[in-house]
């Protein structure tokens, strides 16, 4: 067993905000990844696909929008979103404060973490 916290992990930043990898292949996990993502106001994550992975996103704070090829949904704190493998999706911060999510991806795309 390993213990950590939501404030631990490897941090990567860019103009969209911050990604904090908490549990991922770099910590020894082979079957699941957990990251905390902060999306800055006025920014969005580029549309992307996890071809072989499921993703569960929990909104911690802020207001956002989930966008797929066929639908859009408002996201508020406490909302949980499931994304099946192969579904293109994006997240957009539609508020004036950071939009913070916790995402679980299983299995993790090993190439993404190198």
The enclosing domain of 104 has a CATH number of: 2.60.120.10
pLDDT value at residue 114:
61
Percent of the chain's residues with pLDDT above 90: 88
Q: Assess if residue 3 is contained within a domain.
A: no
The tally of domains found in the chain comes to 1
pLDDT value at residue 113:
65
* Residue in the structure block whose two tokens are 């996990």: 29
CA gap 95, 9 in Å, rounded = 26
pLDDT value at residue 66:
98
Neighbours of 11 (CB within 10 A): 11
- What is the span of the domain harbouring residue 108? 10-113
Q: Assess if residue 5 is contained within a domain.
A: no
pLDDT in tens, 25-62: 889 999 999 999 999 999 999 999 999 999 999 999 99
């Amino acid at each position: 067993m390993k213990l950590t916290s939501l404030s631990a992990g490897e941090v990567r930043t860019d103009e969209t905000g911050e990604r904090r990898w908490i549990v991922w292949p770099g910590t020894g996990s082979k079957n699941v990844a957990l990251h905390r993502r902060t999306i800055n106001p006025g920014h969005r994550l580029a549309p992307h696909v996890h071809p072989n992975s499921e993703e569960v996103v929990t909104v911690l704070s802020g207001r956002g929008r989930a966008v797929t090829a066929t639908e859009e949904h408002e996201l508020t704190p406490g909302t949980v979103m499931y994304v099946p493998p192969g579904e293109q999706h994006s997240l957009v911060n539609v508020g004036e404060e950071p939009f913070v999510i916790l995402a679980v991806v299983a299995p993790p795309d090993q190439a993404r973490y190198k």
